[in-house]
Structure 1
Amino acid sequence: MAELVFHSGPMDCGKSTMALQLDYVHTSHGRRGRVFSSQDRAGEGVITSRLGLSARAIEVPPEFDFWRYIIGELTSGKIVDYLVCDEAQFYTAEQVDQLARIVDELQLDVYAFGIMADFRTQLFPGSKRLIELADRLEMLPLGPLCWCGERGTHNARTVDGLMVTEGSQVVVGDTAAGGAGGEVRYEVLCRLHHRRRMTATRAKATLSPDPLPFDTEQG
């Protein structure tokens, strides 16, 4: 039986890498799929991994109709065995419904990859609908670490290293260091430090190291 599977995790946990690897494995075994993405940090019509991997993809704007596209491919004699859908958090709820219909009525596997919650810890519409409809929810085991060393679970939006909690739900950015001042970036934090709005930059500015438990002066 075909499945709708939602692979999720915070930023920097390897979702796009896994999406590209999954497509490679299926292709190497003779299956033919379609790769989709939406608002990838590298631009339209591409899926990229922070490891340097990339592949062409079909861009998914809000008006894109998955059902109509796949039916068009099949009725024109093309073979479609599965769909890989990266950045699925940016899909609309209606588009996720279309993916579920493709699984149920066309018996095609759909593998979706995306972040669950935004920088305010609120579910993205696409992710919310995937949680409601997916046959399986897979949390990626290899996750990023918070600056404190704990497992990172929450995505923080930062400007000049300071966490912000207001603004549009969708602002494309990256977690890499550098960039112009005032540029929107993202940082993965543990829940505690996300609640306290304690980014790595703020921690360095406000936290002093604990004193050593012995006297370092020579007598």
Structure 2
Amino acid sequence: MAELVFFSGTMDCGKSTLALQLDHNHAEAGRGGVLYTRQDRAGAEVLSSRLGLRRPAVEVGDETDFWEDVVRRRRRGDRVDYLVCDESQFYTPTQIEQLAQLVDEMGVDVYAFGITADFRTKLFPGSARLVELADRLEVLQVPALCWCGARATHNARTVGGRMTVEGEQVVVGDTGPGEEIGYEVLCRRHHMRRMTHAVARATAELPETLPFEIG
């Protein structure tokens, strides 16, 4: 039976790489699929990974209707067995419902990849609806790491290297160094403390805790 599967994780955990690998594997097996993405770091109409892999993709907007798009493709003779939907956290709840309908009514496998929560630890509407509707939730097994070496569980937005919890929910950025407005993955402890790598480096001479008591 067809499935709606949600692959989730923080930034830097290899979601887009896995999306491209999954598409390759299904295509090699003779299946026909469509790649979708929204606001990819590399620009419009492309699905890219930080490893340098990229493929053309359909750019999703608020007006995109997945049901109508698949119906149109099938009517013109295209084979559509599966959909790979990257950056699905940016999709609307209605679009997630359309994806679920394609699974149930047309037998199309849907593989959605995305971040669960934003820089404020609030669920993205698209991700929330995926959690509610998905047949299966998969947490990616390649962990992103906080600067301290612990598993990163939260996404932080940074301005000049310092964490911020203000601003619009969606601001496209990357995790590369030198970004004035960028993102960094942190463990919960350091996200709660708003301690980014830059802040930790600036205060390296003052450890967070001392290994002994001062009497």
Q: Structure 2-normalised TM-score?
A: 0.95
Query: Is 1:186 aligned to residue 183 of structure 2?
Result: yes
Structure-2 residue corresponding to 1:71: 71
Return the offset for 1:196: 0.5
Look up the match of 1:40.
Answer: 40
Of residues 198-207 and 163-172 in structure 1, the stretch that sits farther from structure 2 once superposed is 198-207
The counterpart of 1:199, out of the listed 191, 196, 201, is 196
* Deviation for aligned residue 1:207: 2.9
- 1:46-85 maps to which residues of 2 (within 5 A)? 46-85=46-85
- Percent identical residues: 63
Q: Quick one: which amino acid aligns to residue 79 of structure 2?
A: I
CA distance in 2, matches of 1:42, 1:184: 16
Q: Normalising by structure 1, what TM-score?
A: 0.93
SS of residue in 2 equivalent to 1:204:
helix
Q: What are the Cα deviations for residues 121-156 of structure 1, in whole angstroms up to 9, with x where unaligned?
A: 000010000000000000001111111111001000
Larger radius of gyration: 1
Q: Distance in 1 between matches of 2:163 and 2:60?
A: 29
Q: Distance in 2 between matches of 1:77 and 1:97?
A: 25
User: Which deviates the most, 199-208 or 12-21?
Assistant: 199-208
2: CA distance, partners of 1:175 / 1:30: 35
Q: Matched residue of 1:70: which SS?
A: helix
Local SS of the residue matching 1:20: helix
1:75-125 CA distances to partner (integer Å, 9 max, x unpaired)? 222111100000000000000000000000000100000000000000001
Aligned position for 1:137: 137
**Aligned residue for 2:126?**
126
Counterpart code for 1:187: E
Give the superposition deviation at 1:68: 0.4
Tell me the equivalent position of 2:2. 2
Superposed displacement of residue 209, structure 1: 6.5
- Segments of structure 2 that go 5 or more residues without pairing to the other structure are none
In 2: Cα distance, 1:51 partner to 1:23 partner: 16
1:113 is paired with a residue whose SS is: strand
- The SS at the match of 2:201 is helix
Letter paired with 1:143: P
Q: Deviations over 1:159-183 (max 9, x none)?
A: 110000000000000001124xxx2
User: After TM superposition, what 4+ stretches of structure 1 lie above 3 angstroms from structure 2?
Assistant: none
